[in-house]
Structure 1
C-alpha cells in the first residue's frame, strides 16, 4: 500500500515530465519568432558595390582555413608562397592538439567549442564527397 503523500516516481515518469517541460519551454520562443516577419539578410543577399567603407563594421571578421590529410610543418620542405604569405599576415597556431583523429568529431569540436559527447559526433558520417 502506498503512503498518501508519497509521489510514485520512476524513471519513465521523470523523463516524460522533463520532455514535456522542455517542449513547453520552447513554445513562447516559437510564437515570438512567428510574429517577427522580417528575416535577417544574409551576407550573399547584400549586393557588393565595390566601394570600401570609411569605417570598419562591428564585430569580428574571421577566416578559418582547414584542410584534410595534412600535417604541420614549421618549415615546409618545398616552396609554398601562398601559405607562407598567410602565415606572415595571419595567426598561426604552433602549439595545438586535436580532440579526435577522425575528421567529423574533430571539426565538430572546433566549430562549436563543445566536446564530442555534447556534439554527438563520434565518427565520420559517411556522406559522399
Structure 2
C-alpha cells in the first residue's frame, strides 16, 4: 500500500523552500490544502535536521505544532510529526497524531512504553549523517 505524505516545515531553515510555512494560519491553510488535493498524511516538521540546521528546543517545537494540531483535531489520524525529540514526540502522542517520524530511528528506550500505548504508526528512518543536530 502506498501512502502519500505532504511535507510541511515550520522552520525557516528547511531544505525545501516550498514546504516552509512560518505563520500558524499559513501552516493550517497549507495542511488542509495538502489533504484536500490528495495527500494521505501531512508530515509536520517543527525543526530542520540537515547538517547546518540550528537547534530548536522541544518547547519551541511544541509551540510551533500546537496551533496546527488544534486546527486539525478531527484529522489527527492523518497527521505525522517529524521530530527526534522525545518531549515533542510524547506531546504529539498525547494529542493523538496518527504518525511519528524520527530520522534517528527512535533511539530513546524511555519513549517505547508511550509509543506502545498509542494508536500511532512510526516512520523509522536511518541517517548515516555524522554532522549536525540529527
The verdict on a shared fold, with TM-score over 0.5 as the criterion, is no
Query: What TM-score do you get using the length of structure 2 for normalisation?
Result: 0.23
The structure having more radius of gyration, on CA atoms, is 1
Normalized per residue, the structure richer in strand is 2
